[in-house]
Structure 1
Amino acid sequence: MSGSTFGKCFQVSTWGESHGPALGVVIQGCPPGIELDESVIQKSLDKRKPGHGVASTKRKEPDIPEIMSGIFEGKTTGTPISIMIRNHDAKSRDYSDIASLFRPGHGDFTYHAKYGIRDYRGGGRASARETAARVAAGAVAEAFLRQIGHNISVDSMTVALGGIWIEKKDFAFAASNSFECPDQNALGKIEKRIDEVRKSGDSLGGVLEITARNVPAGLGEPVFDKLDADIAKAMMSIGAVKAVEIGSGCEAAVKTGFDNNDQITPSGFESNNCGGILAGISNGDDIVVRVHVKPIPSILKEQKTVDDKGNPCVLSTRGRHDICAIPRINPVCRAMLYLVIADHVLRQKAISPQKS
């Protein structure tokens, strides 16, 4: 198994490498009759494409999706949907001098240990470039959920970057800036911090919060396929993600049961510490997910490493790299949440045909 497929009923398989001719995704299980064309997918891809923002890599990729199959006269046919995104601005020569070196923080060492061969150009399959295919698939999942009558929306915002945490949540302001930061005061500090770290040749991590609204109650499977378990797996499958919280998350460990329980009234739940999921099944409240993202491992500072023969070396990573995965990782996380929800909506339809 290649580990490149996600989902059971709404299933996606991504393919391609950072410096290959193209990358893409094959989607299986999307029902027929869903209106879809490249423009729908392009809107989502534009939000994660490289080359924009003060924290982004300078690699310029148009990220134009080409639908190769599964669409006829502007609608899905129920057959596999294949989407291709061509690479245009790869500069493989930037990596030729580290072809035999293992970059700290990257998958170079582990890919070599697993396969005995690796594509060193930009990280190959382990590159964040792979996430463009996920975003394309997420756009299809979003279109499916919208057109079958579920008014589900998924939003994200940055709650911390470089150790600077927000103190208030102004959703309108979050939508107005490229970092999706809901706190104007925090945004100014974040921008200053990014500038300082860029000049030092280093990188930063952060935390984002993703919220799914209008998710119907009853989605999720018992025991191993819990909705929150699949969400955690979806987020942790993104290369830079190191931790995932649902609802009150880590704070639940220091609360009492009385404080953490969401008491129930005739009008609904009084709070949402569970993050919209109880016993692995959605309860109808907002699904709230926080994702902790590590610093970008490609930095200009010199680091100790070894080559593929075990010889000690000193490495300074060249090439074009983000200072922080945020905000380009935000649409990737939104896409993965759309994919999980679409998959569980179809699973629920399979066991309860009377439910929409």
Structure 2
Amino acid sequence: MSVQTKHIIAIPMGDAAGIGPEITVKALNNPEIYEVCSPLVIGHAKVLEIAMDFSGISLKVNEINEPSDGKYEYGTIDVISLDNLDVESLEIGKVQAQCGKAAYEYIETAVQLALDGKVSALATTPINKESLKAANVPFIGHTEILAALTNSDDPLTMFEVRNMRIFFLTRHLSLKDAIAAMTKERIYDYLVRCDKALQRLGVENPKIAVAALNPHGGENGLFGREEIDEIIPGIQMAVEKGINAVGPVPADSVFHQALHGKYDAVLSLYHDQGHIAAKMTDFERTISITNGLPFLRTSVDHGTAFDIAGKGIAVSISMEECIKVAARYAGQFRAPQKA
């Protein structure tokens, strides 16, 4: 495959004080990455060199101005380097305003490249909420930043690990509040959105299983009525609209079945239900995909790890998988249509 036929995947470097630069250079030290895509780092050249130094990696940094200028050859890291950090005062492993501001600017630049059609997808590294706050960046994380920069409404998160895909009906809510949010209307709405998201990734007529809330799916009301009153009616509403949805399937078996190909995706009802299933399957290869943006975005599912930053011991498997997943879907991704 020639360079011209490979998709350019933009990699915002993340928080310079975290493990983002380290896992980036380690991932790009794997020749397999260059076999599937053309990786382009958006970051700071000197910080990447520092990360290579303490990681024992020797790659050439090639500073460019446009994605079309990249070499995209193993042994060379192509980077659009922003002069937005005082490297002399950089303290690895600590919250710093300049790192939060710089991390935001890396994302901002990568987003513009994607909107301009100069890169095919984003594979993002960790950013830090405290650093963003210290820099007065008015967002708490990637999803909020990406939604604002692209004027996208409520992007949808999907996990992928091996061949299992998981969506989340609710995420950062207490279990009590999550149960209250499990209405038939919400379930119907999410099944419609999940169906569209999968089709944008190239999965035609996807079969989506809805995980049950209660043990054994509630046993016809013996262990709770949520399945009877809300979950089943929500699924039926979606089926009537042509969505290939089934369930509720007991949560102790649905993820195993999806992993072995029975379903194209599972709609998890609350945060830990899906997170535990994904991370027990393969913690380091659990990748987050943000649907509903004008471009494809994948992300590692871990944080900046300030406690180990700068020590050269961060594992890059998740970053490598993040880039590979972006490359795999880039060719078949279809942007959502604006109403």
TM-score, length of structure 1 as denominator length = 0.28
Flag the structure with higher strand content.
1
Flag the structure with higher helix content.
2
